[in-house]
Amino acid sequence: MAEYSIPEGSFFLGFDSSTQSLKATVLDSNFNTVVTELVHFDSELPHYETNGGVYRDPSVNGRIVSPTLMWVEALDMMLQKLSKKIDFREVAAVSGSGQQHGSVYWKIGSSSILSSLDPAKQLVEQFADSFSVKESPIWMDSSTTEQCKKIEEAMGGALELSSLTGSRAHERYTGPQIRRIYETQPEVYKQTERISLVSSFMASLFIGSYACIDETDGAGMNLLDIKQRVWSKKALDATAPELEEKLGKPAPAYSVAGLIAPYFVERYHFCNNCLVIQWSGDNPNSLAGLTLNTPGDLAISLGTSDTVFGITDEPQPRLEGHVFPNPVDTKGFMVMLCYKNGSLTREDIRNQYAEKSWDIFNKYLQQTPPLNDGKLGFYYKEHEILPPLPVGFHRYALKNFTADTVDDVVEHEVNEFDAPSEVRALIEGQFLSMRAHVERFGMPFPPRRLIATGGASSNECILGSLASIFGCDIYTVERPDSASLGAALRAAHGWLCNAKGRFIPFDCMYKDKLEKTSLNCKLSVKAGDPTLVSKYAIMMKKRMEIENRLVEKLGRW
């Protein structure tokens, strides 16, 4: 066996417990995909009555949660499905991704349930009474504005908190969520013996005891000192009492969480030496799956959320954007922007203006010109994160939109566009915002390589607009579910680090054979007309002027 190769015949299983579904990818020892599988929450687990995998609480503004038990039942269903396609005996290691920031509250006594699972029963039956909070707050939640303000105050300001933890306080971040539970339901907080992220929660099921929170996903909590990769005492104190013992210690993402629990060996015939590698967040796993390891590269994930991410050695945490420790390195950082109005908002506009059909949506994109004759839109079906604006649609008609300077462009607000222009205004608006914030956050522009992933990256018409606005070629990988692919690859990496007894650089596993693997990025859409990039720059500046005004008038902060 060459120094960094994986034994022939081993499989690596990666999951992605995301907002709308649980996905899985199985890689072979040559990093080719052998199986993919999906459990869609709304349609395959209809008894939970979720919409897009979530509940929107009509009585509390911005409260968005998911039933914790649904994620457990999805795992039962997924393992059933996979058992028909692969022999689990061949799986050398398992890892996974969880939607970032979502949290799970284990009731006192649950660790003994975890460690004594009955293989004759499904998981869902056994965890029915294990959670002190039955509905997990998730990344879409925006009900913790007050807690965010108090945490920032206690930390000496938003920028202080961001310098230490990588982000200012964000409503969806787990620290503010925990503080809200402590403030509004102190008894429930007291009855909680352990708090997991979605990622470490799923890992806990697999090892039959509480898994650590990994250092990268842990940075999405406003609690971790990102340079030292340890919990910050000051941030813990600013959040809730006795929190450290409820969180356990953070661990590197490449480390072993534990051996797979006997439950899975007996019920599904995994080998008893199958390793469970720490799970991490979905965006960090996508970074791994897209093999992003050069600072000039950027990835855009068009999933339920839209995110833009890359790596850097010298992060500068600011008031917008996020910095996390690099999930596949012992040093270095991952930088990211996150939008809440991604795929569900695209679906909403498709349903309103394009007869619920992606084909018609695409036809409208093709029949409208780049720059949309100066029609510019802001579409917030959900409270937006970037910028922090409430639900609402804002549309503007721009005069002189091809002028050389933004001062010559004049806008006036309008009520609605024709249907094809609505579609283009949405797509151009989303990508103009990304370009503006990428530049403002100091991410590379234009990127050396721009890789698209997530559900909507299968749509080449949408990628065409992205290419025109960013002025660069767009690459994609074989399949749009890079989070579960990255988790499978990290499972292999964790297995290898464990076999060698030390950290092995991530790319050593695949760099000599990348082109022959499922990890290979291929050119999907060419950059197109270069003169458009500067025209879009003017439109982008106008957009930012309007955005700043909207934030001043309507912003939550």
- 539, 551, 134: which is closest to 383 by C-alpha? 551
Query: Rounded to 5, what percent of the chain is helix, strand, coil?
Result: 40, 20, 40
| DSSP letter assigned to residue 251 | B
Phi-psi region of 212 (alpha: psi -120 to 50; beta: other; left: phi over 0): beta
Site for ligand ADP in 521-550 (CB under 6 A): none
Note whether 48 binds ligand ADP by CB under 6 A.
Answer: no
Looking at 304, 326, 430, 517, which residue binds ligand ADP (CB under 6 A)? 304
Note whether 291 binds ligand ADP by CB under 6 A.
Answer: no
Give me the least distance between CB of 323 and ligand XUL, in Å please: 12
Note whether 286 binds ligand ADP by CB under 6 A.
Answer: no
Looking at 458, 478, 532, 545, which residue binds ligand ADP (CB under 6 A)? 458
> How far is residue 206's CA from residue 200's CA, in Å, rounded to a whole number?
10
Give me the least distance between CB of 280 and ligand XUL, in Å please: 11
> How far is residue 261's CA from residue 95's CA, in Å, rounded to a whole number?
14
Give me the least distance between CB of 220 and ligand XUL, in Å please: 6
Residue with tokens 């639900």: 391
Note whether 144 binds ligand ADP by CB under 6 A.
Answer: no
Give me the least distance between CB of 98 and ligand XUL, in Å please: 8
Instruction: Identify what 459 binds: ligand XUL, ligand ADP, none; CB under 5 to 8 Å per kind.
Output: ligand ADP
CA neighbours closer than 13 Å in the CB half-sphere of residue 376: 26
Q: Which stretch binds ligand ADP (CB under 6 A): 42-50, 104-112, 414-422, 458-466?
A: 458-466
R_g over Cα of the chain: 23
Q: Which residues contact ligand XUL by CB under 6 A?
A: 18-19, 99-101, 139, 172, 220, 281-283, 305, 307, 338
C-beta of residue 453 within 8 angstroms of C-beta of residue 482: yes
Instruction: Identify what 455 binds: ligand XUL, ligand ADP, none; CB under 5 to 8 Å per kind.
Output: ligand ADP
Instruction: Identify what 343 binds: ligand XUL, ligand ADP, none; CB under 5 to 8 Å per kind.
Output: ligand ADP
Give me the least distance between CB of 136 and ligand ADP, in Å please: 15
Q: Select 420 or 486, whichever has its Cβ closest to ligand XUL.
A: 486
Instruction: Identify what 435 binds: ligand XUL, ligand ADP, none; CB under 5 to 8 Å per kind.
Output: none
Site for ligand ADP in 345-364 (CB under 6 A): 346-347, 358
Give me the least distance between CB of 400 and ligand ADP, in Å please: 32
> How far is residue 335's CA from residue 325's CA, in Å, rounded to a whole number?
9
Instruction: Identify what 307 binds: ligand ADP, ligand XUL, none; CB under 5 to 8 Å per kind.
Output: ligand XUL
Note whether 289 binds ligand ADP by CB under 6 A.
Answer: no
Q: Total residues at the site for ligand ADP (CB under 6 A)?
A: 16
Looking at 11, 15, 17, 18, which residue binds ligand ADP (CB under 6 A)? 18
- Written as one letter, the residue type at 39 is V
Instruction: Tell me the angle at which helices 419-441 and 358-367 cross, rounded to the nearest 10 degrees.
Output: 80
- 332, 306, 281, 338: which is closest to 486 by C-alpha? 281
Looking at 143, 216, 459, 476, which residue binds ligand ADP (CB under 6 A)? 459
Instruction: Identify what 95 binds: ligand ADP, ligand XUL, none; CB under 5 to 8 Å per kind.
Output: none
Instruction: Identify what 21 binds: ligand ADP, ligand XUL, none; CB under 5 to 8 Å per kind.
Output: ligand ADP
Residues 366, 367, 372, 376, CA torsion sign: negative
Instruction: Identify what 283 binds: ligand ADP, ligand XUL, none; CB under 5 to 8 Å per kind.
Output: ligand XUL
C-beta of residue 15 within 8 angstroms of C-beta of residue 98: no
Q: Which stretch binds ligand ADP (CB under 6 A): 88-96, 204-212, 224-232, 455-463?
A: 455-463
Non-local CB neighbours of 467 within 8 Å, separated by 6+ positions:
450, 473, 474, 525, 526, 527, 528
Q: Select 101 or 424, whichever has its Cβ closest to ligand XUL.
A: 101
Q: Select 151 or 338, whichever has its Cβ closest to ligand XUL.
A: 338
Residue 100 has φ and ψ, to the nearest 5°, of -75, 155
CA 299-304-309 angle, to 5 degrees, is 20
Instruction: Identify what 172 binds: ligand ADP, ligand XUL, none; CB under 5 to 8 Å per kind.
Output: ligand XUL
List C-alpha distances in Å: 263 to 73, 104, 116, 119, 244: 15, 21, 8, 5, 29
Q: Select 353 or 379, whichever has its Cβ closest to ligand XUL.
A: 379
DSSP-derived pairing of the beta strands 474-476 and 449-453:
parallel
Name the residue with the smallest CB distance to ligand ADP.
455
> How far is residue 306's CA from residue 59's CA, in Å, rounded to a whole number?
27
- 245, 172, 251: which is closest to 213 by C-alpha? 251
C-beta of residue 222 within 8 angstroms of C-beta of residue 150: no
Instruction: Identify what 130 binds: ligand ADP, ligand XUL, none; CB under 5 to 8 Å per kind.
Output: none
Instruction: Give the residues lining the site for ligand ADP (CB under 6 A).
Output: 18-21, 303-304, 343, 346-347, 358, 454-456, 458-459, 462
